[in-house]
Amino acid sequence: QGPQVDWNRMYASEILALCVQNTAEAREAIAKQDAVEKLLRGIAVYRKREPEDSQEQEFVQNLFDCLCNMMVTPKNQVDFGKQQGMELMIRMMRERKFACRLALRLANHAMNHCAENCLLFVEKLGLPVIFSLF
């Protein structure tokens, strides 16, 4: 059972997603605070668990949006791989829960122009998981 998502957390995630989407300075500032690791911990709860309501769904989508926007920077892509983000995305796709399509999108962003993450994806047997989705 994950932490309850109250309105403050939901709005904070939405504001963070907007800031990270719109400014490189915001991406750099939160990257210095180990944002990739913290955001991965936030979404890991939903690997096997479905969000309970639409508010929690929006919260999860905002966390994924933050991570997708963080993948613009090569350093963040490498951090994503080192923090076992690719393995988590593969597991989420394999579970086929709410976060499956969000994990697919994030994996795509993480592998874009990043050979290290592409290699990780293949080594961790991500290809059969993707092929089974379609």
For every residue of 65-117, DSSP letters joined together read HHHHHHTTSHHHHHHHHHTTHHHHHHHHHHHTSTTHHHHHHHHHHHHTT-HHH
Q: Read off the pLDDT band of 62 (50, 70, 90).
A: very high
Percent of the chain residues topping a pLDDT of 90: 92
Say yes or no to pLDDT of 106 above 60: yes
At residue 48 the predicted structure's pLDDT band, cuts being 50, 70 and 90, is confident
No. of helices (H) and no. of strands (E), the chain:
9, 0
Q: Work out the number of other CB atoms within 10 angstroms of the CB of residue 72.
A: 14
Q: What is the per-residue pLDDT across 66-80, written as a single tens digit (0 to 9) for each? A: 999 999 999 999 999
| Over residues 4-14, mean pLDDT | 89
Helix-, strand-, coil-residue percentages of the chain, each rounded to 5: 75, 0, 25
Span 114-129, pLDDT tens digits: 999 999 999 999 999 9
C-beta of residue 105 within 8 angstroms of C-beta of residue 133? no
CB atoms inside a 10 Å sphere around CB 100:
16
Report the C-alpha gap between 113 and 118 in whole angstroms: 9
Q: Chain-wide mean pLDDT for the chain?
A: 93
What does the pLDDT read at residue 17? 95
**Residue 2 pLDDT more than 80?**
no
Q: Is the pLDDT of residue 24 over 80?
A: yes
